[in-house]
Amino acid sequence: MGTRHTRAYTDLREQLRDWWARTNAPCWLCGQPIDYDAPAHDPAALDLDHAKPIETHPHLALDSSNCRPSHCRCNRSRGSRAPRPEMGMVTEDW
Ligand SMILES: [Zn+2]
């Protein structure tokens, strides 16, 4: 527990934020540009996401190759799980 609040994690996040802002990295979930000047909890602001969720891959929390830039809103709607299968999407019988 608490991986997100360690000093190492904060440092890594700052480094990546710096790098992504400089290279103007887009959101890896929706492909749209991220507003790197937006306030921290703005839906369009940067949120550090993990390609493999920390919950299932805690050892990758501090692995920069597992980190991806995402929008606050995209990361939040994705949650910590992999995208769940959309049960209602298959509508063949109508
Ligand atoms: Zn996005």
**36-57 tens-digit pLDDT:** 999 988 999 999 999 999 889 9
Other Cβ atoms within 10 Å of 85 Cβ, number: 7
**11-34 tens-digit pLDDT:** 999 999 999 999 999 999 999 999
Name which residue leads in pLDDT, 80 or 16: 16
35 CA → ligand 1 middle, Å: 10
- Would residue 69 count as lying in a domain? yes
- Would residue 68 count as lying in a domain? yes
- Would residue 20 count as lying in a domain? no
Cα–Cα distance, 53 to 87 (Å, whole number):
22
- Would residue 59 count as lying in a domain? yes
- Would residue 48 count as lying in a domain? yes
- Would residue 94 count as lying in a domain? no
7 CA → ligand 1 middle, Å: 27
Instruction: Look at the chain and report how many structural domains it folds into.
Output: 1
- Would residue 17 count as lying in a domain? no
- Would residue 24 count as lying in a domain? no
49 CA → ligand 1 middle, Å: 11
93 CA → ligand 1 middle, Å: 33
**pTM of the full structure:** 0.74
Helix, strand, coil shares of the chain as percentages rounded to 5?
A: 40, 10, 50
Structural domain including 69 reads 1-8+32-80
